[in-house]
Amino acid sequence: MTNIWSKLSKTYAEGISTTEYILLPNVARALDNVDGKSLLDVGCGYGLFSSFFGQRGARVLGIDSSKKMVDLAKKVSPKAHYEAMDVTKVSQLNQDFDYVLAVMVFCTLNNPQDFYNAFREISCVMKPKGRFVLVDEHPASKKNLETAVLKRQFPENSYFNSGQPYRVLLSTEKGSEVSFDNYQWTLEDYANTIRNFNLEIIGIKEPRPSPKTCQEHPELIYFLENPEYILFDIQKREKDA
């Protein structure tokens, strides 16, 4: 089966304004002292975040299930190491990390088993007291939506339709379009799965652009007023509970 993200890789790497101007600054604030730390970027895509933290002194490994994305990351974002690997297999790395990052990856997982296994595997590669910053689409974001940079259609428009696909259409910064399915996961899905693996949510943020960013990028004003993203700051407990 062709990996959808391999097909989209080149166009996606043209850049997504919501990722660069909303998510990147918020993730940078959440992980503000990475110098000398080990960081695993799961679902690293073309390496935007891996490269950003590599430039700030972290020892970064980016993994992605799409080999094409990984090849692209090696070319366009060289400040990190990259490997083609599924998030549900990361314990095979046999390595512990200070930080794990997953940006817009869990919302692309299309079944409860992978959603569950991804948390289990990530917990396996975290150091005690290590942190995991997970950014995803906000479970309560409007699923039928049309903005200048993002459109969405959710035929079965119920918040509680866990695991149901909905169509996403994004415009890149060069004006091309990418379209793919994301999957609805509720707050209960996140919170109840996370606590299974010796993990604790220590903070939640709802990333949005700053008013200044909206002046420079008026296409982002919608995201100043509506919950579009959620950032879970998760810590591994020191000892097994």
Ligand X SMILES: C[S@@+](CC[C@H](N)C(=O)[O-])C[C@H]1O[C@@H](n2cnc3c(N)ncnc32)[C@H](O)[C@@H]1O
CA distance 229 to 154: 17
**Site residues for ligand X, window 160-219 (CB under 6 A)?**
none
Which alpha helices (H) appear in 87-151, and where do they start and end? 112-124
Q: Is 43 in the site for ligand X (CB under 6 A)?
A: yes
Token pair of 170, please?
A: 């994004």
| CB of 70 vs ligand X, minimal distance in Å | 9
Of the listed pieces 63-71, 171-179, 213-221, 226-234, which binds ligand X according to CB under 6 A? 63-71
- Would you list the DSSP string of 140-168? TS-SSEE-SSEEEE-SS--TT-TT-EEEE
For the segment 96-125, give every residue that binds ligand X (CB under 6 A): 103-105, 108
Which of left, alpha, beta for 104 (phi over 0: left; psi -120 to 50: alpha)? left
83 binds ligand X (CB under 6 A): no
Verify binding: residue 19, ligand X, rule CB under 6 A. yes
Place of tokens 């919170």: 191
Closest CA to 205 of 42, 17, 29, 41: 29
Instruction: State which residue, 106 or 222, has the beta carbon closest to ligand X.
Output: 106
> Cβ of residue 88: shortest distance to ligand X, in angstroms?
6
Give residue number: closest CB to ligand X: 45
C-beta of 42 vs 214, nearer to ligand X: 42
Q: Give CA–CA dist 193/173, Å, rounded.
A: 35
* Residue 20 interacts with ligand X (CB under 6 A): yes or no: no
The contact set with ligand X (CB under 6 A) reads 5, 19, 42-45, 48, 64-66, 69, 86-88, 103-105, 108
